[in-house]
Chain A
Amino acid sequence: MQVKETNEFKPKIVAFCCNWCSYAGADLAGTNRLQYPADVKIIRVPCSCRVNPMFILRAFQRGADGVILCGCHPGDCHYTTGNYYTRRRMTLLFSMLDYLGIEKERTRVEWVSAAEGAKFAATMNDFVATVTKLGENKRLEDLRCKAK
């Protein structure tokens, strides 16, 4: 396949989506053909509370430019309380990351229900635009992990 040469900065964005709400919301965005940039790659997890802070640190270590976590709206968690844990854990993690030099805008938690395909697409468009503006993540990227 021909590789298109481009100088444009394309951010690497990892989106963790819970299986019940946000992953279904992402599917709905697809079904409705709502466009958002291809820079977003989704990882399916059973619940947003499955996302270990290690995963996010790992993503930044490996060169991700932004990480977004999507779960059910508070009160609507399929597992009743999972997203409350997410909210607390990520508040702590994101402020620590901010301290380490990963700007707050590179990390985000968003509640997207299974019926909110439009919100999913809008969120991703907005997040990609924000991260693109910030440019490459240089703070936590470990050059030893770079693909040769």
Chain B
Amino acid sequence: MQKIGVFVCHCGTNIAATVDVKAVAEALKGEPGVVFSTDYQYMCSEAGQNLIKNSIKEYGLTGVVVCSCSPRMHEQTFRKAAQSAGINPYMVEIANIREQCSWIHKDIWSATEKAIILGKAAVAKVQLNAPLTAGESPVVKRALVIGGGIAGIQTALDIAEAGFEVDIVEKQPTIGGKMTQIDKTFPTLDCAACILTPKMVDCAQNEKIKIYSYSEVADVKGFVGNFTVKIKKKARYVDEDKCTGCGICTEKCPVKNVPNEFNMGMDNRRAIYIPFAQAVPKVATIDANYCNMLKNGKCGVCSKFCTVGAIDYKQQDTIVEEKYGAIVVATGFNPIKLDDFDEFAYSQSKDVITSLEFERLTNAAGPTSGTLLRPSDGKHPHTIVFVQCVGSRDTSGCGKTYCSKICCMYTAKHAMLTREKYPDTDVYVFYIDVRTPGKNFDEFYRRAVEEYGVHYIKGMVGKVVPRSDGTLMVQASDLLSNEQLHINADLVVLAAAIEPDKSARSLATMLTASMDTNDFFTEAHPKLRPVESPTAGIFLSGVCQGPKDIPETVSQASAAAAKVIGLLAKDKLTCNPCVAQANELMCNGCSSCEKVCPYGAITYSDKEFRMPDRTTAIRRVASVNEAVCQGCGACTVACPSGAMDLKGFSNSQIMAEVDAICK
């Protein structure tokens, strides 16, 4: 029989306000095996931990039950405390009486009764706990960054700076991401390309960084410290090592009508292209959907003009397999499609554009070389209406319920820059709320209103009607003066909500990393572990975790890098000791467990057994590779003879909990 100590935490008033903690400590005293039971203000504090340590020594405890917050919060804390007092850390069980009791119930009586039952279940479980020793697994000292936008670039540079090798996988032909398409960045108005492209070049030149551009992650296997990743290098039909990026092919290609995605389809590129002048790697790519040679075998102009013979029409997709210790997800975002928003006439008029399209119209490398011209007739717009929250904070079902966070600031930027370059333009901004928290952000917005005379109007645009004279009739309401407005606009700019990149969902499945209902990756703890995924070894960087502006993205990227470096700096990781274990005497070698194991952790071997009649028999029995087993327990249920059990969550332990709860 174990000698169990019970420690009930008040958590200030978090628990004590709705649970009679003294009554819980008193009630658990009578449980079998409990030799000591007490309560304390903050069990996780140093004094609280000392109370546990001293009691272990004083009463010779062999098991500990802490009735406190969620084990996801402080299980490690109490395990360490127990370990330092000389007992096995896995002899500690937590009864979650905060998140799953005091915080969700108002009635003291029923909350206290429930807390006692949860405590009893934990005592019953700890009775059957056995000391467990964690194994060790080696760490592959390389990292993978998925996504080569500013988030991925910053993470990769920081990891490389610490001396670890890092690979970037980017699905586009160049790294750089959305930031390459942005003209100026708020609130300092420095040019995005001027601050981003040096970082892109740093990535290319850093010996520790390898860039897999035009590539995608095809498969992920393994676990923290030891991932095996298959990377699909899509055929770009150009030999990356030979291509010098001279660009002759992109001038000579006869297919001239391919919409240029870099300029949001507002001008055209060729079938062979380099996305933009500062692309990294600066290598041409053939778009197989448009290339005449690839489609029907008639052309071959680019290969005739290529001086280095880099064109290879026979190139195939290739799969590269690499090993990594840590994976950083930096898959970024896209603006949502606005086809469902008929009221803004986005698909009807060329002069209704998104903010990212506006960004390209004002960029020197854009379709108009930086002069703000209407896409329909190339004339200067004199009245511009900006509409915020298009698809953001939208509960109608068309858009997203969350705030996209960056739109208030970039709209202020657009409005301000327009007024500065073209002072004769009237600029209107329709908003629900202006949200500009951040360093120097509110000052920036106020400058747009006060110095640049941008008309900010609280209210939503109801309808945009394209008229025969080429203007757009904007119908809106001014909520503050309670008036209906009709504005004759030349250009309407929609601040579309942002959403996680579509590839994130399938990637999350491969990584077994969890996502929220909006397809943003979930962090291990919303406040205290914001850059880690709940899945060990997977880290989050940038907008894939939630809407962010560039400064926030960069700080999160560096934070993720710091976490990766901390992981890679270790030579060995301790494994989870709660793994499956086969009872060889009961195992009949049927292979049921092997078939359900998602990790291939179960193998079979022939072993000699002494039989009751003193003969030896050779039987085929299962054995579990403890370094590979992740402890899901699928095999324990599949086993028909009950030979398979899970350490730390054994059949008898869970049954004991069930019994205690149903008593």
Q: Is A85 a contact partner of B517 (Cβ separation < 8 A)?
A: no
Q: Which residues of B contact A24 (CB under 8 A)?
A: 72, 534
Of B27, B633, B661, the contact of A50 (CB 8 Å cutoff): B633
Q: Is A41 a contact partner of B634 (Cβ separation < 8 A)?
A: no
Q: Is B637 a contact partner of A27 (Cβ separation < 8 A)?
A: no
Q: Is A33 a contact partner of B104 (Cβ separation < 8 A)?
A: yes
Q: A33-B103, A36-B104, A59-B662 are in contact. Are A49 and B633 (CB under 8 A)?
A: yes
Quote the shortest CB–CB distance from A113 to chain B (angstroms): 6
Of A4, A42, A45, A53, the contact of B100 (CB 8 Å cutoff): A42
Q: Is A46 a contact partner of B663 (Cβ separation < 8 A)?
A: no
Contact of B516 with A by CB under 8 A: yes
Among A34, A49, A121, chain B packs the most CB atoms within 10 A around the CB of A49
The CA of A38 and the CA of B104, in the complex, are separated in Å by 8
Contact of B512 with A by CB under 8 A: yes
Q: Is A31 a contact partner of B121 (Cβ separation < 8 A)?
A: no
Contact of B47 with A by CB under 8 A: no
30 A-B pairs (CB sep. < 8 Å): A23-B70, A23-B72, A27-B100, A34-B104, A35-B104, A35-B105, A41-B121, A42-B96, A42-B100, A45-B649, A46-B646, A47-B632, A49-B637, A53-B637, A55-B651, A55-B655, A62-B662, A64-B662, A75-B509, A76-B512, A78-B632, A79-B512, A79-B598, A80-B512, A82-B632, A82-B634, A113-B517, A115-B516, A115-B517, A147-B663
Closest to B631 in A: A46
The CA of A90 and the CA of B632, in the complex, are separated in Å by 17
Q: Is A38 a contact partner of B633 (Cβ separation < 8 A)?
A: no
Quote the shortest CB–CB distance from A85 to chain B (angstroms): 5
User: When each residue 254-277 of chain B gets 1 if its CB lies under 8 Å from chain A and 0 otherwise, what string results?
Assistant: 000000000000000000000000
Interface residues of A (CB under 8 A from B): 1-2, 4, 12, 14, 20-21, 23-24, 26-27, 29-31, 33-36, 38, 41-47, 49-55, 58-59, 62-64, 72, 75-82, 85, 89, 113-116, 121, 147
The CA of A72 and the CA of B509, in the complex, are separated in Å by 12
Q: Which residues of A contact B98 (CB under 8 A)?
A: 30
Closest to A12 in B: B662
The CA of A94 and the CA of B39, in the complex, are separated in Å by 41
The CA of A58 and the CA of B309, in the complex, are separated in Å by 73
Q: Which residues of B contact A43 (CB under 8 A)?
A: 121, 654, 657-658, 661
The CA of A1 and the CA of B112, in the complex, are separated in Å by 9
Q: Which residues of B contact A58 (CB under 8 A)?
A: 655, 658-659
The CA of A21 and the CA of B515, in the complex, are separated in Å by 10
Contact of B110 with A by CB under 8 A: yes
Q: Is A76 a contact partner of B514 (Cβ separation < 8 A)?
A: yes
The CA of A113 and the CA of B638, in the complex, are separated in Å by 25
Q: Which residues of A contact B578 (CB under 8 A)?
A: 46
The CA of A121 and the CA of B105, in the complex, are separated in Å by 12
Q: Is A27 a contact partner of B99 (Cβ separation < 8 A)?
A: yes
Contact of B630 with A by CB under 8 A: yes
Q: A33-B103, A33-B104, A113-B516 are in contact. Are A52 and B121 (CB under 8 A)?
A: no
Q: Is B104 a contact partner of A29 (Cβ separation < 8 A)?
A: yes
Quote the shortest CB–CB distance from A118 to chain B (angstroms): 10
Quote the shortest CB–CB distance from A148 to chain B (angstroms): 11
Contact of B247 with A by CB under 8 A: no
